[in-house]
Amino acid sequence: MAHTHHHHDHHSHNHHSHDLKGKNLLISIVLNVVITLAQVVGGIISGSLALLSDAVHNLSDVVSLIISYAANSLSRKQASTNRTFGYKRAEIIAAFVNSATLIIVAIFLIKEAIERFLNPQGVGTGIVIALSILGILVNGFSVLLLKSDSERNMNMRSAYLHLFTDMMASVAVLVGGILMYFFGWYWIDPLLTLIIALYLIYMGYQLLKSSTRVLMLFTPESIEVQQIVKAICALGPIENVHHVHIWQLNEDELHMEAHIDFKKDIALSEFDKILVDIEKLVYKEFGINHVNIQPEFEKCDSKNIIVQD
């Protein structure tokens, strides 16, 4: 099996960022547990749906952060004979679960908001204003902690989205609290709930789609299989490239396997040289960092690029 060595360079960097991610997630978990409890109590006392829905939302944050934290820890575990990839997919599964729960939370919020529109209720605004400010501060802090990792990592993005939408929800609750306090516009409460929920569905769906693509072993959207085949065929005495599989293991690793038919019966040492060229080419042009090539000469097998096994 031929492997590239491109992915070893950032190993120490990865280890460091993993530890930091874990620490940031832990801090966010503790903060969110505190705020959930405060909002449940406050929501019950004040009778604010927006506060209670914010509390439910915070609870879903806690769960999603715990899932992300577990996945982040698991993904570091070493590979073993019966888990040859280790737990590198754990973070993708976490992103999938978290984005699915985002959408479910949103649907509940919409249902609640519609019921409130149909029968508006008075709300104790003082508590609402105080607790929503607390929510903004705590979630805002957590959002800042996770922001940089969220851009590079699907799992962290799912945790970040839960927190970010939660912070927006607290902002909405605050605005609603102030408007209700001064003008008695109680319909603001459900309206804001509705807007937050729709945003959640939009963001959750995007993440659900991208994590599903990875779990289904789809070829990443940025990659054109035909172009790779053409580029490889241009190297050395290659007759054709067939039986190609390209998939993403997780966000850092892109794998490709293929059979390559040679025009002449070359020595293994010569194949190794060509292999190095292939590895360099697919890494530089397409970002593929794990390559597994099966060399063949006049072998009777299907020569289709994509073979349905």
Evaluate whether 11-215 and 225-296 have a shared fold: no
In the predicted structure, residue 2 carries a pLDDT above the cut 70: no
Q: What is the four-CA torsion angle of 53, 58, 61, 62, rounded to 10 degrees?
A: -130
Which CATH entry fits the domain spanning 225-296: 3.75.10.10, 3.40.50.300, 3.40.50.2000, 3.30.70.1350? Answer: 3.30.70.1350
Q: Provide the 8-state DSSP code for 300.
A: -
pLDDT digits (tens, 9 = 90+) for 286-301: 999 999 999 999 898 8
- Sole residue written with tokens 């109680």: 186
Task: For domain 11-215, give the CATH number.
Answer: 1.20.1510.10
Q: Is the pLDDT of residue 259 over 70?
A: yes
The 10s digit of each residue's pLDDT in 29-52 is 988 888 888 888 887 887 777 777
For the four alpha carbons of 265, 271, 222 and 290, in that order, the dihedral sign comes to: positive
How many CB atoms lie under 10 A from the CB of residue 184? 11
SS3 244: strand
Task: Report how far residue 235's alpha carbon sits from residue 31's, in angstroms, rounded to the nearest whole number.
Answer: 56
Query: Residue 150 corresponds to which tokens in the numbers above?
Result: 């969220």
The predicted-structure confidence for 91-138, as pLDDT tens digits, reads as follows: 999 999 989 988 988 898 888 888 888 877 666 778 888 888 888 998
Exposed, middle or buried by CB within 10 Å (0-12, 13-18, 19+), for 179? middle
Q: Does residue 246 register a pLDDT over 70?
A: yes
pLDDT of residue 6: 52
Tokens of 165: 């939408």
> What are the structural domain ranges in the chain?
11-215, 225-296
178-190: pLDDT as tens digits: 888 888 887 877 8
Q: How far apart are CA 190 and CA 145, in angstroms?
A: 30
> Which value, in Å, is the radius of gyration of the alpha carbons in the chain?
26
